[in-house]
Amino acid sequence: MSDYIVRATAADAQVRAFACTTRDTVETARDIHHLSPVVTAALGRLLSAGAMMGITLKGERDLLTLQIRGEGPVRGLLVTADAGGQVKGYANVPDVILPANARGKLDVSGAVGPGILCITKDMGLKEPYVGQIALQTGEIAEDLTYYFAVSEQIPSTVGLGVLMNRDNTVAQAGGFLIQLMPFAGDDVITRLEENLAGISSVTQLLSEGRTPEQILGQLLDGMNPEMNEIIPTGYYCNCSRQKVEKALISVGKKELKDMIAEEKDVELNCHFCNKNYVFKPEELKILVKNA
Ligand code: ZN
């Protein structure tokens, strides 16, 4: 198990916290989508956040979607996560190249631009839960902190990071999410602020060989942290030919017949894993017949 999420509580459950290491997950996304470094950082941060938020879903089939639509050159990012720690995602424009920002870092904010963050939780009810905010910085962690405060009324701190190697593969990726419960005392808040001020960045800590458990230990120092659970996480697409067939049938018999009349193969691409599904005219005929 390389990538995983740790779930913890501290200060007699006044605080709940998550931390993750997601290098392989983000490297898989980079490889599948041929992402440029800045888009790897942007999507990698969102994937890491999705992994930690996904495991808070209650139902096995519940699905979390984090979507960013922005005016920057990447246009948009989409990540879905499930309760089991599996994530997948894509960027609308995967190959954006931008100069480093003023701090010499990958300019995620510049790639995303002003826009919105929309979070959907599909919990199998008639209507999914939807929360939407205006992006605050486009750096993603700050935007999520704002989302939790405004949309879910949970005071939170989010840290996310992706560090690239010189050969443009992913060196480190991960994050943390710390949330205060409504009954959290001022002493807990003060201590947490002190601990946060004392750390550099997630990728710095991971580069130094720190594990997610150790990162949480540092963030929750002096608050009796309890590591409750370790959950493996990874990049996983659950598309299948059967699902693509269903999608094809849903476009309608008339449209399918038009496709058949063109006597050409129909090629469908999965946005999440880049797999191509090819349907020959005779296969489409069988679909129409069985529809
Ligand atoms: Zn797929």
| Ligand 1 geometric centre to CA of 240 (Å) | 7
Which long-range contacts link 220-223 to residues 24+ away (Cβ below 8 Å)? 220/8, 220/10, 220/11, 220/15, 220/17, 220/178, 220/192, 220/195, 221/195, 222/191, 222/195, 223/10, 223/11, 223/15, 223/188, 223/191, 223/192
Q: Does domain 4-235 have CATH number 3.20.20.70?
A: no
Cβ-contact 39, 25 below 8 angstroms? no
Expressed in angstroms and rounded, the spacing between residue 97 Cα and the centre of ligand 1 is: 26
**73 C-alpha to ligand 1 centroid (Å):** 24
Confidence bin at 253 (pLDDT 50/70/90): confident
pLDDT band at 24 (very low <50, low <70, confident <90, very high): very high
Indicate the domain borders of the chain: 4-235, 241-290
Per-residue pLDDT band for 156 (boundaries 50, 70, 90) equals very high
Q: How many whole angstroms from 59 Cα to the centroid of ligand 1?
A: 22
Cα distances from 181 to residues 152, 185, 188, in angstroms, run 12, 9, 11
- Ligand 1 centroid to Cα of residue 237, in Å, is 5
H/E segment holding residue 196: helix 186-197
Q: 275 C-alpha vs ligand 1 centroid, how far in Å? A: 6
Q: Taking all residues of the chain, what is their mean pLDDT, rounded to a whole number? A: 95
> What pLDDT, on the 0 to 100 scale, is given for residue 1?
52
d(CA 155, CA 217): 20
Residue 171 has pLDDT above 70, yes or no: yes
Ligand 1 ion: nearby residues, β-carbon < 5 Å: 237, 239, 270, 272-273, 275
- pTM across the whole model: 0.94
| 54-80 pLDDT per residue, tens | 999 999 899 999 999 999 999 999 999
Minimal CA–CA distance to 237: which of 205, 269, 278? 269
Q: CATH classification of 241-290 is 3.40.50.2300, yes or no?
A: no
Q: What is the pLDDT of residue 124?
A: 86
Evaluate whether 162 touches 151 at the Cβ level (below 8 Å). no
What is the CA(238)–ligand 1 centre distance, in A?
Answer: 6
